[in-house]
C-alpha cells in the first residue's frame, strides 16, 4: 500500500519532468545525451541515424524523459521483422538504456521500461534484449522472462583442412535480393529475418569493417569481423546461414573461419549459437562450445499465442543480433 506521505514524496521526486517519444527531429538532443552518459563510446550523427532511423523495419521507439527542457533518461527499442514458426511478426530489441547520474534513483527508467513493455504487449509483439549486468535486475523484476544465457562460444584458432575449392567465395558489397530465400529455406523456426534489406543495413554499421562471403551456389552466406581486444586479435563469426539441404557444408564453412583467423593474426574465434541449434554439432566439433559460465542473459517477451518462443534451441541467435558487434 502507498501511504499519502509516500505518494507525496514520489510526486515530488517526479515533479517537473515530461515523458516523450523522440524522433528524427530530436536527433541532436539524443546524440548529445548519449555522448554525455557514455563518453568512452562516442557516437556521431551517422551512427545515430543508422541505428535508430534507417533500419528497414522502421524507426526505433525512443522513450525519453525531459527535465528543464533536456533529456535526462532514455530507453530505446529497435524494430525488426521477425520469423515466428512461419509467421512474420514485429519484434523490438531493447538497447541503449541510460539515465543522467543526477537523476538516478527517481524511478525514471522504471517509467520508461513500463511504457515500452505496455506497448509491446498491447500490440502483441515480440520483445528481446541482452542487458548488461547493471540493468539485468530491472528486466527480471518486470515482464521479461529469462530465455537463455547468451550462447557465447569461443575457441583457439587452429590449423584445419581447407574447405573444398569454391565452397566459400567473397561477396560484393551488397547481399543479393534473393538472400531471403536462404532464410526461408533454412528450417530455422525463430529469429530476425535475414533479408537482403536487413543484412545490407546491418553490415553497413558506420566505422566498422565486415567480411562477407557466399557459400556454394546460393546455399548460404557467412559474415566475419576482426576485432582487437586486450587478450589479442579475435575473429567474430557474426552470422552463418545455409539452407536445410546444404547443412552438410557448415563444417567446411567453419574450417574456412579457422583458416581466415590464422591468416589474419586472430588467436581466438568467437560466435553466438544456442545449444540444440541445427548447427551446434558442427560448432562443437570445431571447438566452438558454449561457455556455460558466461554470466550474461537474453530476456524476451512473447506474444500470447507463442509459447514456443521460449525454447532457446528454436532460435537463430548470433552476434549479428546484438548491437555490440
Q: Is 111 exposed, middle or buried (0-12, 13-18, 19+ CB in 10 A)?
A: middle
**Looking at the structure, do residues 41 and 87 belong to the same domain, yes or no?**
yes
Closest CA to 36 of 76, 73, 61, 77: 73
**Looking at the structure, do residues 163 and 278 belong to the same domain, yes or no?**
yes
What pLDDT is attached to residue 15?
A: 64
**Looking at the structure, do residues 104 and 179 belong to the same domain, yes or no?**
no
What pLDDT is attached to residue 263?
A: 97
Lowest mean pLDDT among 21-25, 102-106, 142-146: 142-146
**Looking at the structure, do residues 115 and 234 belong to the same domain, yes or no?**
no
pLDDT at 325 exceeding the cut of 90: no
What pLDDT is attached to residue 14?
A: 60
What pLDDT, in 10s, does the model give residues 154-187?
Answer: 999 999 999 988 899 999 889 999 999 999 999 9
268 beta partners: 156, 234
Mean pLDDT computed over 233-239: 97
Closest CA to 90 of 60, 133, 47, 46: 60
What pLDDT is attached to residue 155?
A: 96
Percentage above 70 pLDDT, the chain:
95
Cell of 319: 552476434
127 beta partners: 92, 301
The owner of cell 540444440 is: 276
* Residue where one domain finishes, among candidates 143, 177, 211: 143
Quick check: 71 and 86 in contact, CB under 8 A? no
* Residue where one domain finishes, among candidates 143, 164, 182: 143
What pLDDT is attached to residue 86?
A: 86
Mean pLDDT computed over 118-131: 94
What pLDDT, in 10s, does the model give residues 30-81?
Answer: 999 999 999 999 999 999 999 999 999 999 999 999 998 899 999 999 999 9
> Range of 270's domain?
152-321
**Looking at the structure, do residues 197 and 172 belong to the same domain, yes or no?**
yes
**Looking at the structure, do residues 137 and 250 belong to the same domain, yes or no?**
no
Mean pLDDT computed over 179-200: 97
Cell of 176: 543479393
According to DSSP, residue 81 is labeled E
Cell of 47: 551512427
- What is the number of domains present in the chain? 2
Per-residue 3-state assignment (H helix, E strand, C coil) for 101-139: HHHCCCCHHHHHHHHHHHHHHHCCCEEEECCCHHHHHHH
21 beta partners: 63
Percentage above 90 pLDDT, the chain:
79
Cell of 156: 583457439
What pLDDT is attached to residue 13?
A: 52
Start-to-end Cα distance in the chain:
44
pLDDT at 92 exceeding the cut of 60: yes
**Looking at the structure, do residues 240 and 273 belong to the same domain, yes or no?**
yes
Rounded to the nearest integer, the mean pLDDT of the chain is 92
Is residue 302 very low, low, confident or very high in pLDDT (cuts 50, 70, 90)? confident
**Looking at the structure, do residues 207 and 278 belong to the same domain, yes or no?**
yes
pLDDT at 9 exceeding the cut of 50: no
**Looking at the structure, do residues 181 and 260 belong to the same domain, yes or no?**
yes
Q: Is 107 exposed, middle or buried (0-12, 13-18, 19+ CB in 10 A)?
A: middle
Mean pLDDT computed over 200-214: 96
pLDDT at 191 exceeding the cut of 90: yes
pLDDT at 4 exceeding the cut of 50: no
What pLDDT is attached to residue 5?
A: 44
Separation between Cα atoms, residue 212 and residue 237, nearest integer Å: 11
**Looking at the structure, do residues 71 and 158 belong to the same domain, yes or no?**
no
CATH number at residue 126: 3.40.630.30
* Residue where one domain finishes, among candidates 114, 143, 172: 143
**Looking at the structure, do residues 124 and 210 belong to the same domain, yes or no?**
no
The count of residues in the chain is 325
**Whole-prediction pTM:** 0.92
**Looking at the structure, do residues 126 and 166 belong to the same domain, yes or no?**
no
Amino acid at each position: 500500500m502507498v501511504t499519502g506521505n509516500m505518494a507525496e514524496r514520489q510526486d515530488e521526486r517526479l515533479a517537473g519532468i515530461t515523458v516523450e517519444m523522440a524522433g528524427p527531429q530530436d536527433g541532436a538532443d539524443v546524440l548529445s545525451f548519449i555522448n554525455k552518459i557514455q563518453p568512452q563510446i562516442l557516437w556521431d550523427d551517422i551512427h545515430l541515424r543508422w541505428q535508430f532511423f534507417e533500419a528497414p523495419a522502421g524507426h526505433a521507439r525512443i522513450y525519453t524523459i525531459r527535465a528543464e527542457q533536456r533529456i535526462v533518461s532514455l530507453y530505446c527499442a529497435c524494430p525488426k521483422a521477425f520469423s515466428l514458426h512461419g509467421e512474420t511478426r514485429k519484434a523490438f530489441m531493447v538497447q541503449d538504456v541510460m539515465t543522467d547520474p543526477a537523476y538516478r534513483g527517481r524511478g525514471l527508467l522504471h517509467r520508461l521500461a513500463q511504457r515500452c513493455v505496455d506497448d509491446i504487449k498491447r500490440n502483441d509483439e515480440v520483445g528481446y534484449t541482452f542487458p548488461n549486468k547493471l540493468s539485468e535486475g530491472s528486466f527480471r523484476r518486470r515482464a521479461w522472462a529469462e530465455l537463455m544465457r547468451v550462447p557465447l562460444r569461443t575457441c583457439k584458432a587452429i590449423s584445419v583442412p581447407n574447405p573444398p575449392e569454391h565452397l566459400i567465395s567473397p561477396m560484393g558489397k551488397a547481399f543479393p535480393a534473393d538472400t531471403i530465400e536462404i532464410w526461408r529455406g533454412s528450417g530455422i523456426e525463430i529469429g530476425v529475418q535475414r533479408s537482403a534489406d536487413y543484412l545490407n543495413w546491418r553490415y553497413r554499421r558506420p566505422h566498422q569493417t565486415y567480411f562477407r562471403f557466399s557459400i556454394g551456389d546460393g546455399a548460404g552466406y557467412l559474415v566475419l569481423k576482426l576485432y582487437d581486444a586486450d587478450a589479442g586479435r579475435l575473429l567474430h563469426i557474426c552470422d552463418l546461414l545455409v539452407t536445410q539441404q546444404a547443412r552438410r557444408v557448415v563444417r567446411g564453412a567453419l574450417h574456412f573461419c579457422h583458416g581466415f583467423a590464422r591468416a589474419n593474426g586472430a588467436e581466438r574465434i568467437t560466435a553466438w549459437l544456442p545449444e540444440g541449434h541445427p548447427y551446434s554439432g558442427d560448432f562443437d566439433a570445431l571447438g566452438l562450445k558454449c561457455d556455460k559460465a558466461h554470466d550474461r542473459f537474453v530476456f524476451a517477451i512473447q506474444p500470447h499465442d507463442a509459447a514456443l518462443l521460449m525454447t532457446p534451441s528454436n532460435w537463430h541467435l548470433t552476434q549479428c543480433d546484438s548491437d555490440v558487434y
